[in-house]
Amino acid sequence: MILVVLACVILTAALGWWVFTARPEGASLSPAAIRRQALVERKAAVYENLKDLHFEHLAGKLSDSDYQRTRQMLEAEAASVVLALDQSPEHP
């Protein structure tokens, strides 16, 4: 029983040390690099949504009109994200 309590105390202390001494990932990035990273993540999400949309249409969950309307909306969003990426400064 004492070993279990000791292990829990050690684990809690280690976890507390890790939480309070860890640096955030984006702390050293410039605002332009953070924006570019957000755009890259958004592009990946939109492409994933397009892939899911196509699968749902093939599975018969969406009508042709709903599929076309949603696909056009997602493709327009993807185009705007790609354009913003092309216009953003390169990642250092």
* pLDDT digit string, tens, across residues 50-85: 999 999 999 999 999 999 999 999 999 999 999 999
Residue 92 within any structural domain of the chain:
yes
CA-only gyration radius of the chain, Å: 23
Determine, yes or no, domain membership for 5.
no
What digits encode the pLDDT tens for the residues 18-40?
A: 888 877 665 677 888 888 989 99
Q: How many structural domains are present in the chain? A: 1
Q: 45 with 77: CB under 8 angstroms?
A: no
69 located within any domain: yes
DSSP assignment of 49-90 equals HHHHHHHHHHTT-S-HHHHHHHHHHHHHHHHHHHHHHHHSPP
In-domain check, residue 1? no
Q: Is the per-residue pLDDT at 91 higher than 70?
A: no
0.75 surpassed by pTM: no
